Amino acid sequence: MLGVVFAVLAAATNAAGSVMQRTGARKQPEGSRLSRDMLLHLVTQRVWIAGVLTTLAGLGLQALALANAPIVVVQSLLVSELGFVLVLSSVVFRTRLPAREWAALAGLGAGVALLLVSLSPGGGRPHVPVPTWLLASGVTVATVAVLVAIGVRYRHVRRAAYLGIAAGMWFGFTAVLIDGITADGLFSAWQTYAMVVAGPAGFFLLQNALRAGPLVASQPGLTLANPLVALGWGVAVFGEQVRGGPWLAGSLIAAALIAACTLQLAGSHLLDDAE
């Protein structure tokens, strides 16, 4: 239960950070390429810096959640971040959410709940052999690299879609690293030093995904790839148990519901303002 509370708090904190980062990122020319200059410009903006610091606070809450609940549970609950972004944006910009978006928010929450009930994750081993870690990490990093390489060859919507998936996968991977840190200890875990590289790389990739094109193109990948990576790692690497058989249908329905509601919410005018 404590892990669930921390996960929801992490989602809300990440949402606040996301709104502030989008406010800073929207001053960049749309469709900007991956560049050091883009990042150097962002760090001169106070609202963007505040967003990064808020997101780091969310990362701390996420670590507490991972220390108290399976990674599949935590990352699935973080899908609710998009809902918090919309609600916070409606407050900040003093704009009402249309009825269809409230319905999509309800559908998103129902989808997450159905996914967790269908999967019913549990168990898992706290310590994983280093060779297994390295193999799984190599596969994940290579997949993200391929998505980025494909994405930068396109412009606007396609670029945003590919970079959104890559960023979502990367944040799922950083959650895996955090899980390793909570199991082995902050200074004794090699994952701590991997996070020194993975953390900034994730922020850099996120900014490019946000600026590559409309949020409706990047947000589905950002939202869905994260828990999918967590699910893959949780089952294949950490040995967490999930329900199959008839419950698989429930998981697929939940994923489809989450995807449909994410697409609906990503087109909200409030997210244009928050960007």
Tens of pLDDT, residues 37-89: 666 666 667 877 888 889 889 988 988 998 888 888 898 898 888 888 888 87
- Tell me the β-bridge partners of 240: 123
pLDDT of residue 275: 44
Residue 53: name the closest of 81, 30, 33, 24 by CA.
Answer: 24
3-state SS class at 236: helix
Position 105 pLDDT exceeds 70: yes
Q: How far is CA 125 from the centre of its chain?
A: 24
Better pLDDT: 186 or 272? 186
Work out the average pLDDT over 12-35: 67
Q: Which residues contact 76 (CB under 8 A, 6 or more apart)?
A: 112, 115, 116, 119, 227, 230
CA-to-CA distance for 78 and 223, rounded, in angstroms? 8
Domain residue extents for the chain: 2-274
Work out the average pLDDT over 232-250: 88
CA-to-CA distance for 244 and 251, rounded, in angstroms? 9
pLDDT of residue 46: 80
pLDDT of residue 274: 45
Q: Report the alpha-carbon angle 179-161-252, nearest 5.
A: 60
Beta-carbon count within 10 A of 93 CB: 12
pLDDT of residue 61: 92
pLDDT of residue 214: 76
Tens of pLDDT, residues 192-211: 889 889 988 988 888 788 77
pLDDT above 90 coverage of the chain, percent: 29
Residue 6: name the closest of 182, 157, 127, 170 by CA.
Answer: 182
Position 141 pLDDT exceeds 90: yes
Compute the mean pLDDT over every residue in the chain, rounded to the nearest whole number. Answer: 84
Work out the average pLDDT over 159-188: 87
What band does 36 get if pLDDT is binned at 50, 70 and 90? low
pLDDT of residue 31: 44
Would you state the structure tokens that stand for residue 234, as one six-digit string? 């949780």
What band does 273 get if pLDDT is binned at 50, 70 and 90? very low
3-state SS class at 263: helix
Strands, E assignment, the chain: 122-123, 240-241
| 123: phi then psi, degrees, rounded to nearest 5 | 75, -150
Residue 198: name the closest of 171, 225, 229, 160 by CA.
Answer: 171
